C-alpha cells in the first residue's frame, strides 16, 4: 500500500483527508481535533513511509494552492469587519510582535546555552512557530530544516493547548454580539422626534419596521422621516441592549404586537441572489422608494445582524423584509430569492483575487542592509482578500463571495494544505531524529512555543481583556497556523470573532517571523 501511495500523490492526499477527518471527529471529554487531525494523520503516514524507505509526499504546488485558497477566502469573510477593528488594533499588533520577539530572544539565549548553531536555532524558531516562510528566510539549509521538522509538531500541539485554555473561558465573554430582537413600543413623548433622530441618538443601530397611529388602525411602513407622536405604537429592531435603551427613551413596551398584524404588512426572509445587488448597501437597494419595503435584519451564515443602511450585502445573505402584502412578491423577484446565491463562488473575483494575492506575496520587500524578503502566498492572498471583502464591489464587478461559498472553499483549501504540510514534515522527522542534537532541538522548540503562547495568553486575556473566543483566533493568527483556526472554528461553530482575531494579527505575525528568522540565521 505504501508503494502505491508514494506513486500516487492524489490518492495519498484524499486518503489523508478522509482518514484525518474521521479521526478529527473522535471526542475525548468534549474535545476533538477537527481538521487538525488531518495534519497529524499526514505526519504519521509520512513518517511510516520514511521508515520503510519510501517518500510519501504531496507536490508543493498542491499545498500552495490549498494555502492560498484558504487564506484568500478567510480574508474575504473577515474583510467587512477587519478595517473597522483595525483602527483601534495597533496596540494588539504591537503586543503580538513583542511576544514573537520574546520567542526569538529565548531561541538565541537557550540555543546558545545548548550549543546549537545559528542556522539550527533559526530553523527551530520557525518550526516552533509553524511558519514555513520563516524557514526559507532562515536559509532553508539542512541544519535549519532539521530544527524546523523537530520543533513543528510541538509547535502545533503546544498552541492547541493554549487555544483550549482560551476557549474554556468563552462562556464569560463580554464581547459577544448582542442578540437582535424586536419590541413593540408605545410612544410617550410630546416633542415629536423623527425616526432618523431616534436612530442617530442610539448609534444608528436601530431599525423601525412598523407603525400604527390609532388604536384600531392598520400597521403601516416606516420611513426615516416619520414623526413619532404620543400614542403611536412602533416596532423597533436592533441589538437587545440598544433596543432596551430606545424603549426607555421613547416610552414603554406595548401589549400590542404589530408583527402579528398582517392585515396590511407582511414579512419574509429573502435570499439575495441577484448579482446586481451584491456589494451594494442596504440603502442602495432602494426598497423604500420602489416597494415601500424595509429591510430590518440580515442573516449571514448563522448570525442575525441589524440591517443598518450602510451595511454591504453579499450574495447568499438572507434579509428579513417588511412590505405591503401585495408587494412581497415583487420584492422577492427583485432580490432573487434563489438558492444559487448561497453557492455562487464568483469565479471572476476568486481567480483575479488569487492572482493579485500571489503576485503580492512574491513582491520583494527591502530590509536594512540591502537584503529583501517576500511575505509569501498566504499573507499576500489574505491581504488582497481583506480588501476585496471590505470593498464588495468595484463598478459592475462584485469582489465578494457568499458566506456559504467562503466557508466551503476555506475548508477545502485548509484540508489540502494540512495534508501537504503533514506528509512532507512526516517524511523529514525520522531524518531529523538521526541528528545528535535532536533532544536539544526539542527542548528549544518547546521553550519557544511556550514563551510565545504564554505571552500571548497573558497579554491578550488580562492586558487587552480579550474574550476567549476572539483570543483563540488571535493565538491561531499569531502562530500563522490554519490547523489552530480550524480547531477554534470547530469548537465555536465558526463564530465570526475567531476569524476576525485571526485576520487582525496574521499579516503582522507573518512579517515579524520572517524578519526575526532572517536575523537569527545571520547571527
**Residue 169: burial class (beta carbons within 10 Å; 0-12, 13-18, 19+):** middle
Assign 105 a pLDDT band (cuts: 50, 70, 90).
very high
Q: What would be the CATH architecture of the domain defined by 180-342?
A: 2-Layer Sandwich (3.30)
Looking at residue 137, what is its pLDDT? 61
Mean pLDDT value across residues 474-483? 86
The answer to whether residue 217 scores a pLDDT higher than 80 is no
Q: Hey, which residues does 267 pair with through a beta bridge?
A: 322
- How far apart are the C-alpha atoms of 424 and 429, rounded to whole Å? 9
- Residue of 211, 220, 318 whose CA lies nearest to 265: 220
Looking at residue 57, what is its pLDDT? 80
Looking at residue 130, what is its pLDDT? 84
pTM beyond 0.85: the answer is: no
Assign 450 a pLDDT band (cuts: 50, 70, 90).
very high
Assign 110 a pLDDT band (cuts: 50, 70, 90).
very high
Q: Return the domain boundaries, the chain.
A: 180-342
Mean pLDDT value across residues 296-306? 78
Assign 260 a pLDDT band (cuts: 50, 70, 90).
confident
Only one residue has cell 443601530, namely 205
Q: Cβ atoms within 10 A of the Cβ of 321, count?
A: 25
Q: Report the run of H or E that residue 348 belongs to, with start and end.
A: helix 347-361
- How far apart are the C-alpha atoms of 168 and 209, rounded to whole Å? 39
The answer to whether residue 140 scores a pLDDT higher than 60 is no
Alpha carbon 125 to its chain centroid, in Å, reads: 26
Mean pLDDT value across residues 342-364? 85
Sorted by sequence, the CB contacts under 8 Å of residue 57 that are 6+ apart come out as 6, 9, 46, 423, 424, 427
Q: What is the pLDDT of residues 159-214, one digit of tens each?
A: 989 999 999 888 777 777 677 888 889 999 888 998 889 988 888 888 888 888 87
Q: What is the pLDDT of residues 11-68, one digit of tens each?
A: 888 888 888 888 877 766 555 666 667 877 887 888 788 777 787 888 888 888 888 8
The answer to whether residue 101 scores a pLDDT higher than 90 is yes
Distances (CA, A) of 203 to 21, 91, 234, 249: 44, 25, 19, 13
**Residue 407: burial class (beta carbons within 10 Å; 0-12, 13-18, 19+):** middle
**Residue 132: burial class (beta carbons within 10 Å; 0-12, 13-18, 19+):** buried
Mean pLDDT value across residues 315-324? 84
Looking at residue 28, what is its pLDDT? 65
Looking at residue 3, what is its pLDDT? 79
Instruction: Mark residue 344 as left, alpha or beta (left: phi above 0; alpha: psi -120 to 50; beta: remaining).
Output: beta
Assign 412 a pLDDT band (cuts: 50, 70, 90).
confident
Structural contact between residues 494 and 78, judged by C-beta atoms closer than 8 angstroms: no
Give the mean pLDDT of the chain.
Answer: 82
The answer to whether residue 153 scores a pLDDT higher than 90 is no
Amino acid at each position: 500500500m505504501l508503494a502505491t501511495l508514494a506513486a500516487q500523490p492524489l490518492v495519498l492526499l484524499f486518503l489523508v483527508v478522509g482518514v484525518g477527518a474521521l479521526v478529527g471527529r473522535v471526542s475525548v471529554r468534549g474535545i476533538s481535533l477537527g481538521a487538525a487531525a488531518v495534519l497529524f494523520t499526514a505526519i504519521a503516514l509520512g513518517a511510516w513511509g520514511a521508515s520503510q524507505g519510501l517518500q510519501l509526499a504531496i507536490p508543493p504546488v498542491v499545498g500552495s494552492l490549498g494555502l492560498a485558497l484558504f487564506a484568500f477566502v478567510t480574508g474575504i469573510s473577515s474583510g467587512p469587519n477587519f478595517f473597522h477593528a483595525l483602527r483601534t488594533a495597533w496596540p494588539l499588533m504591537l503586543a503580538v510582535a513583542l511576544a514573537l520577539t520574546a520567542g526569538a530572544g529565548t531561541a538565541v539565549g537557550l540555543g546558545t546555552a545548548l550549543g546549537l548553531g545559528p542556522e539550527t536555532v533559526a530553523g527551530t524558531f520557525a518550526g516552533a512557530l509553524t511558519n514555513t516562510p520563516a524557514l526559507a528566510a532562515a536559509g532553508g539549509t539542512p541544519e535549519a530544516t532539521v530544527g524546523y521538522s523537530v520543533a513543528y509538531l510541538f509547535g502545533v500541539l503546544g498552541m492547541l493547548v493554549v487555544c483550549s485554555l482560551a476557549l474554556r473561558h468563552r462562556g464569560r465573554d463580554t464581547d459577544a454580539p448582542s442578540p437582535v430582537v424586536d419590541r413593540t413600543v408605545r410612544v410617550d413623548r410630546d416633542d415629536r422626534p423623527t425616526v432618523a433622530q431616534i436612530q442617530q441618538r442610539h448609534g444608528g443601530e436601530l431599525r423601525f419596521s412598523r407603525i400604527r397611529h390609532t388604536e384600531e388602525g392598520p400597521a403601516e411602513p416606516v420611513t426615516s422621516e416619520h414623526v413619532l407622536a404620543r400614542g403611536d405604537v412602533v416596532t423597533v429592531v436592533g441589538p437587545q441592549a440598544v433596543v432596551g435603551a430606545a424603549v426607555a427613551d421613547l416610552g414603554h413596551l406595548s401589549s400590542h404586537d404589530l408583527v402579528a398584524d398582517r392585515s396590511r404588512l407582511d414579512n419574509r426572509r429573502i435570499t439575495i441572489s441577484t448579482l446586481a445587488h451584491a456589494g451594494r448597501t442596504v440603502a442602495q437597494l432602494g426598497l423604500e422608494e420602489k416597494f415601500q419595503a424595509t429591510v430590518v435584519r440580515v442573516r449571514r451564515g448563522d448570525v442575525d445582524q441589524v440591517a443598518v443602511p450602510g451595511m454591504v450585502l453579499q450574495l447568499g445573505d438572507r434579509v428579513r423584509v417588511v412590505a405591503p402584502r401585495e408587494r412581497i412578491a415583487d420584492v422577492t423577484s427583485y432580490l432573487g430569492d434563489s438558492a444559487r446565491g448561497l453557492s455562487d463562488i464568483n469565479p471572476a473575483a476568486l481567480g483575479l483575487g488569487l492572482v493579485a494575492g500571489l503576485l503580492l506575496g512574491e513582491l520583494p520587500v527591502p530590509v536594512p542592509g540591502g537584503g529583501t524578503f517576500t511575505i509569501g502566498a498566504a499573507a499576500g492572498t489574505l491581504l488582497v482578500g481583506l480588501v476585496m471583502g471590505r470593498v464588495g464591489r468595484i463598478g459592475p464587478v462584485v469582489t465578494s463571495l457568499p458566506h456559504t461559498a467562503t466557508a466551503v472553499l476555506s475548508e477545502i483549501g485548509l484540508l489540502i494544505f494540512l495534508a501537504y504540510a503533514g506528509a512532507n514534515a512526516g517524511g523529514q522527522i525520522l531524518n531529523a531524529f538521526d541528528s545528535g542534537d535532536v533532544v536539544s532541538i526539542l527542548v528549544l522548540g518547546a521553550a519557544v512555543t511556550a514563551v510565545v503562547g504564554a505571552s500571548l495568553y497573558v497579554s491578550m486575556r488580562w492586558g487587552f481583556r480579550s474574550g476567549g473566543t476572539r483570543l483563540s483566533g488571535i493565538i491561531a493568527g499569531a502562530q500563522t497556523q490554519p490547523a489552530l483556526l480550524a480547531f477554534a472554528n470547530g469548537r465555536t461553530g465558526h463564530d465570526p470573532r475567531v476569524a476576525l482575531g485571526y485576520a487582525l494579527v496574521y499579516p503582522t505575525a507573518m512579517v515579524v517571523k520572517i524578519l526575526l528568522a532572517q536575523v537569527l540565521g545571520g547571527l
